[in-house]
Homo-oligomer: A and B are copies of this chain.
C-alpha cells in the first residue's frame, strides 16, 4: 500500500489543530486536503499553502481520513458523518473515549449525543495498540489521560499497586491545554506569574476516563486523586504521580519494571535512575518522558511528561492514524 492518503482536519485553527496540520503537512504519506475553521475561514493555514474552509463546505468523498479537533459534542456528530461516509475517523475530543452512555453521562452531565458509536477503540497505542490497528474510528485520549496512564501503566500491568490506597496525581499543564477560545482563565495577565489549581480532587471530567482505562489493565488499583494546575507556560504537561506498592514489589525494582515494559517503544522514554523528567524533555517532541524515584520501600514518585499538543493530542492522533492504515506507527513522528 504505497498510495497517498488524503486527510482532512476539522478544527484546524485550534492549538491541537495547528500542531496536527504541521505534522500532517510533512508526513511522507499524507496529502492534507483541507483544514476547517469557521472563525478563520479564508485565512491562510500557517505553514501550508491552504486556506481555512468552513466545516460545512467540505466534501467527505475527497478524503480517506478525517481528524476531529472539535469541541465536545460537535465532534461526535462529525464522527458519525464520517463513519457514514466511509472515511476513517480519528477523534481528538472526549466524545468517544467513554465506553458506555451511562458512564459518559456521569462525567459530562448530559446524554451522549451518539450512543450508537460507543464503545470506540481507545487510541493509546503503547497500551492497546492491537485495538487500533486497522480500526475505522479511534478515540485519541487527551493530555491528562495519556500522560497519567503511561505513567502508571507498568505498575498496573504488574498488578503492583495497593488497591486500598489512592493513586495521587498532581498535574501541571501549560495554557494551550485550555484551548484557544479567549476567556478570563486564559488571559495573559491572569495566568502570568501565577499557578492555579482547578477541578481538584475528584471533580475533573477526565477522571472517569482515566479510571475506566486503568481498570481495563488491572482491577487492583485504588481510586485516583487528580489535582491539575494551570502553569504559566504555553506548552507541556507534567503529572507527578505518587503510588503505594503492594507486597509483590519493592520500590527499588520499579525502575527496571518501567524500563522493560517500555523497551522498544519509540515514543516513550524512561530516564535513567536518578534523572528527573522536566517539561523541556517533552515539549515540541512527540514523546512521553518518564522518571521513577523510589522513595520508601512501598512508595514511589513517578514524573510523566508530554507536550500536551503532541503526544497529548496531535502526534498521538497521527500515531493512531498510522496504525489504522497499516503504516509504520511512528511514520512522520520521529
Q: Which residues of A contact B (CB under 8 A)?
A: 15, 165-166, 168, 170, 172, 174-176, 180, 182-184, 186-198, 200-202, 223, 225, 227, 229, 231-236, 238, 240, 242, 276-280, 283-284, 291, 293-296, 299, 301, 303
Contacts and interface: CB of A to CB of B under 8 A. Distances in A.
A227 to B, nearest CB: 6
A225 B295 CA distance: 7
Contact of A233 (B195, B197, B242): B195
Given A188-B191, A202-B296, A231-B231, 14 more contacts: A166-B299, A186-B187, A186-B189, A188-B232, A192-B233, A193-B280, A195-B236, A195-B238, A197-B277, A197-B291, A200-B293, A200-B303, A232-B233, A242-B242
A172 B184 CA distance: 23
B184 A180 contact: yes
B166 A195 contact: no
A197 B240 contact: yes
A166 B15 contact: no
A170 to B, nearest CB: 4
Contacts of A186: 182, 187-189
- Looking at chain A's contact residues, the main secondary structure is mixed
B280 A201 contact: no
A299 B195 CA distance: 23
Contact of A193 (B172, B233, B291, B301): B233
Contact of A182 (B187, B242, B293): B187
A202 B166 CA distance: 20
Contacts of A196: 276, 278-279
29 contacts: A166-B295, A170-B170, A170-B242, A172-B195, A174-B189, A175-B188, A175-B189, A186-B188, A187-B187, A187-B188, A192-B233, A192-B234, A193-B233, A193-B235, A193-B279, A193-B283, A194-B233, A196-B276, A196-B278, A197-B276, A197-B303, A200-B276, A200-B301, A202-B295, A223-B296, A225-B242, A229-B240, A231-B231, A242-B242
A207 to B, nearest CB: 11
A201 B273 CA distance: 13
Nearest to A251: B201
Given A172-B195, A197-B276, A296-B223, A184 B187 contact: no
B233 A293 contact: no
Which 5 pairs of residues, A with B, have the shortest CB-CB distance?
A: A201-B295, A182-B182, A170-B170, A195-B279, A175-B188
A188 B295 contact: no
A201 B301 contact: yes
